[in-house]
Structure 1
Amino acid sequence: MSKRTADDEEGGVALKSGDRPMDIDVDNEMGEFEDEFEDEFSDDEIIEAGVDGRPDAEREAEEKAAAANAMDVDGAPASGGPGTFIVGRTKLEPGQVLAPDPSAYDMLHSLNTPWPCLSFDFVRDQLGDARTSYPATMYTVAGTQAQSGKANENQLMVLKFSSLGRMHKDGGDSDSDDDEDDEDADGNVESDPILESRSLPLASTTNRIRAHQVPSADPSRPPTTLTATMTESSHVLIHDISPHLAAFDTPGTVITPQQNKPVSTIRAHKTEGYALDWSPLHPSGKLLTGDNDGLMYVTTRTDGGGFVTDTRPFVGHTGSVEEIQWSPSEASVFASASSDGTIRIWDVRSKSRQAAITVQVSNTDVNVMSWSRQTSHLLASGADDGVWGVWDLRQWKPTAAGAAIPKPSPIASFNYHKEQITSVQWHPTDDSIVAVAAGDNTVTLWDLAVELDDEESRDTAGVQDVPPQLLFVHYHSNVKEVHWHPQIPGALVATGDEFSIFKTISV
């Protein structure tokens, strides 16, 4: 079943693939970065949220003086003493707004697109891996969700973010107020952020978009970059955006109308869907797609560059397929997560098109899932009830036909978020770090390796209901997806009402 109410103009609760984010002013100039530290809030009260969402010592002292208005972590009136503000948990009073704590970030930028985007993906570049210098450059693809009645304004957007500076050491923004670029103590050049974009027309909202690169036979030439876009129309569109990426670095490049058209359109699905993934172990291109009828299809790129879809669907889910992920280590294996509360493991070689393993992981919709690239037996999932957990696939056993669906125990489970989980992703190089986005307008970073001893437990006893594994809380309105940059360690981008590009000092 679809989770979107496309005609809902009220914003509502943010869902992974659900209610429309608040409308963005389309008259805003495309690519304008918002300086979060020059906004005038006039009479609004600003509350800064740090690494764990708590006020610093100075604000705690101020709150102690106003104990009558103090709040507990759950937003209820405190019985006495200063309150603890926790982003996503404590309710804001009328007139209150949140501002980031600059000292908690190494980089922080925000930008708007003509319409909000439910989904985006990074495109690997040729600038090198493990980059740590500033200013940073990133390439992404995204699909828009235009206002109801304006579907013809939807776009597939190819974006280049450049001159992404770091925060000033004194806590200010990295962007220089001078006309000339400055250099910080570490030799990093400070400059104004730049957004460049190339747009391909779409006739429908993008539910999910993923990028894949096909290596070139000539090592001196860049790879072919493909995007798969799962749309509200039920069609899956495959584009070759290689010329659009090349145009960023080749002034005067003209994109032809033919280059804006899909190279293939998958019409196997009869309903829309949100599940989409390219195989990391099939360089030439193998795509999985899943829909709201619970059906999943495999599409393979041929030697000639075309695409062929196997019309025999994988079946078994009793609800919509919300997420699909290929195994990072086994080329024929994939996992699916569904609104029926199950995760299922499949083998594409199976003639029965039935799941090899089925487990019940939630009593609510399983919205999102992430397979660890570092430790391939670890799988993270997030559900509609706000719970996210980590599973050890070695503990899952094949399901016999007609047997009851087992309910395994996670090796870690967190009930911190009180709204649906909209995105979850393992850190690309650290199998203990996970990024989670939720409908409470937050992105949280977690370190699963953290364990408190008795003394540390006593020191944190005053912060109730905050797991010690919680590293960082980042506020982001109507956040839908969050991804780690694959080549800039610790850098993340989240999408919702706007794009947020950030890197914390804690990861």
Structure 2
Amino acid sequence: MAKRPADSEQEQEQEAMKNGHRPMEIDPQNEAGDFEDEFEDEFESEDEILEAGVDGRPDEEREAEERENGMDIDQGTFIPGRHKLSPGETLNPDLSTYEMLHTLEAPWPCLSCDIVPDALGPDRKTYPATVYAVAGTQAARGRDKENQIMVMKMSSLSRMEKDDDDSDEEGSDDEASDPILETKSIPLTSCTNRIRAHQTPQATAAKPPTTLTAAMTESGQVLIHDVTPHLTAFDTPGTTISPAQNKPIHTIRAHGSNEGYAVDWSPLIAEGKLLTGDCSGKICATTRRPDGSFETDTALYTGHRGTVEEIQWSPTEKHVFSSASNDGTVKIWDARSKSRKAVLSVPVSKTDVNVLSWSHQTAHLLATGADDGEWAVWDLRQWKPSTGGGASQSKPSPVASYTFHKEQITSVEWHPTDDSIVLVCAGDNTLTLWDLAVELDDEESRFTAGMQDVPPQLLFVHYMEQIKEAHWHPQIPGAIMATGGSGFNVFKTISV
């Protein structure tokens, strides 16, 4: 991120130095800038020069000064969420660090969004890009009838403009264009706390896959919609959506009036199996039958002593899922258990555990994010089975933990194909990208003195007002969609 340009010539020079640019004074009589040997008369032999070091001083003296002053430039770097703007300053992104960056507005803020898989192909790297997604709004109090589920198509997402010498790069011949946001709205009378999409397999070549959404609402009801017609309408001119197609195909009322935030579809059960959790600590399972109808289990999963903040199915075990709660624990469950009790219960934070994510590449790794700003990675092989009907064990040690964020963690998600990359959203208006594989050697560590509170694993910081949730696009490597108080951001950095 970058602050506005400095006004005076001196400030501009200081700002340039902070950004890594080194001004060079050129003799007006020697515009070519010929090299001048400042040590020409000081040393008579090559051995004396080598002994004195590259700048004429002993190595020990020079290295001591580097350790003391090596981070002068970095200390001037503005870090969103950690530093405050001065009066009159504004924050703008450093566009050179993005491959793609687009901002799209919504009628109301959305707490949650989800990316919908499409038929445009995997591993897409050309531009302009297209993204299909769903989101649920949070209209202002007293205007609940303006709430909606937004089914979206974002197209003409062009890459950042490059210099002429980059014209041979893949996709760089695509002309820059303004992004286009098309929406199909499904009216609701309640805010959506969390929304997740699920896609069943394509029945035939002529029939597209069925796309379902589950929206956990503020009223406590979970609304399941078939948004297949809405998605089809984007690419079939003249298609209209009937009022009947905007109605939910199933409503889950098992949570009563308890609202909730935890929703997840099983990635391994094609027909569709849904888990939902509420503020009373109850977890409910709903299964889609072969005929398309739904059945909700009457027996609920119990054990959390507070709100179930997040639920996620195992990416490899068909009957296993995890849950996070504001009671500070993460629990692991077996959906086949008749007791409906957790098989593992681990305290991972002294504060609310808001979010979790299961690695799709290394299934024994689980990431969590808590209310105190800490996010951590856990090795499930170190967790021991619970005893006494789901009693918690002592807190194990995480594989890695970070306290860079000073506000609550609101979203965490592993990269879909790289088990060392994680994205994290926080209440400090930032989305950060992390590379857990980074380790500094002794030589590199010398130059990080003075920035011990900025972990070397931190790859990137993206600023977005009131950011709530973000997801990697599974078909566009490195692309991210985020939602927040200012609408949606769709971007891709050059670092991932």
TM (norm. structure 2) is 0.84
Of residues 449, 457, 460, the one that matches 2:448 is 460
Q: 1:265 to 1:328 in 2, by over 3 A?
A: same
Cα distance in 2, alignment partners of residues 56 and 382 from structure 1:
35
- Could you say which residue in structure 1 is the equivalent of 2:415? 427
Identify the residue that residue 469 of structure 1 maps to in structure 2: 457
Preserved CA contact (<8 Å) 2:20 2:73? no
Considering fraction of residues, name the structure with more helix.
2
Q: Which residue of the other structure, out of 292, 298, 316, is the alignment partner of 1:305?
A: 292
**Which AA in structure 1 matches 2:362?**
T
Alignment of 1:360-379 (within 5 A): 360-379=347-366
Aligned equivalent of 2:33: none
Q: Deviations over 1:186-243 (max 9, x none)?
A: 3223222111110000010000000000113214421000000000000000000000
Letter in 1 for 2:438: V
Match of 1:98 in 2: 91
- Note the alpha carbon deviations across 1:108-140, whole angstroms, 9 max, x for none: 010111101000000000000000000000000
1:159–1:310: structure 2 CA closer, same or farther, 3 Å change rule?
same
Aligned partners of 1:46 and 1:96 also within 8 Å = no
Q: Distance in 1 between matches of 2:439 and 2:480?
A: 25
Distance 2:392 2:283 in 1: 23
1:80–1:267: structure 2 CA closer, same or farther, 3 Å change rule? closer
Amino acid at match of 1:452: L
Report the Cα offset of residue 57 of structure 1.
Answer: 4.5
1:81-480 matches, within 5 Å, as 83-170=76-163, 186-270=172-256, 271-401=258-388, 405-480=393-468
Contact 1:46-1:97 at 8 Å conserved across structures: no
Specify whether residues 193 and 400 from structure 1 end up closer, same or farther in structure 2 by C-alpha distance, changes over 3 A only: same
Does structure 1 conserve the Cα–Cα contact (< 8 Å) formed by 2:328 and 2:348?
Answer: yes
Change (3 A) 1:496 1:81: closer
Cα displacement string for residues 329-375 of structure 1 (whole angstroms, at most 9, x for unaligned residues): 00100000000000000001111110000000000000000001111
Closer, same or farther: CA 261–408 of 1 in aligned 2, 3 Å: same
Per-residue Cα deviation, 1:41-74 (whole angstroms, up to 9, x for no partner): xxx9469xxxxxxx97534689xxxxxxxxxxxx
- The answer as to whether partners of 2:18 and 2:73 remain within 8 angstroms in 1 is no
Deviation at 1:92, TM superposition (A): 1.9
Measure, in 2, the Cα distance between the counterparts of 1:80 and 1:433.
27
- SS, match of residue 483 in structure 1: strand
- 2:245 is paired with a residue whose SS is helix
Specify the SS of the correspondent of 2:240: coil
The offset of 1:83, in angstroms, is 3.3
Other-structure match for 2:488: 499
User: How large is the Cα RMSD of the aligned pairs?
Assistant: 2.5
Q: What secondary structure sits across from 1:458 in the alignment? A: helix
User: More relative contact order in 1 or in 2 (CA 8 Å, sep 6+)?
Assistant: 1
Aligned in 2, Cα 1:404/1:277: closer, same or farther, shift over 3 Å?
A: closer
Q: Does 1:58 align with 2:17?
A: yes
Distance 1:355 1:46, change over 3 A: farther
Q: Deviations over 1:132-179 (max 9, x none)?
A: 0000000000000001100000010000000000001149xxxxxxxx
C-alpha deviation, 1:82, in angstroms: 6.0
Structure 2 CA distance for partners of 1:430 and 1:250, relative to 1, 3 Å? same
Q: Tell me the secondary structure at the aligned position of residue 178 of structure 2.
A: coil
Structure 1 distance, partners of 2:104, 2:94, is 18
CA contact (8 A) 2:221 2:253 kept: yes
Match of 1:189, SS state, is coil
How many correspondences in the alignment? 436
Matches of 1:416 and 1:337, distance apart in 2: 21
2-structure distance, mates of 1:245, 1:469: 38
Are 2:75 and 2:450, in contact at CA under 8 Å, matched by a contact in 1? Answer: no
Q: TM-score, normalising length from structure 1?
A: 0.82
Q: Which secondary structure does the structure 2 equivalent of 1:284 belong to? A: coil
Deviation string 1:378-413 (CA, Å, 9 cap, x unpaired) is 100000000000001111110111655320110000
1:460 deviates by: 1.6
Report the residue type matching 1:263 in the other structure.
I
Task: Give the letter aligned to residue 156 of structure 1.
Answer: I
- For the residue of structure 2 that corresponds to 1:351, the secondary structure is coil
C-alpha contact (below 8 Å) 2:126/2:170 kept by paired residues: no
Spell out, residue by residue over 1:236-263, the C-alpha distance to the aligned partner (whole angstroms, 9 max, x if none).
Answer: 0000000000000111101110000000
Deviations 1:473-503 (A, max 9, x none): 0001000001000100000011102211110
Q: Secondary structure at the match of 1:445?
A: strand
Q: Structure 2 regions of 5+ residues with no counterpart?
A: 7-13, 22-70
User: What is the Cα deviation at residue 80 of structure 1?
Assistant: 12
Stretch moving more, 156-165 or 454-463: 454-463
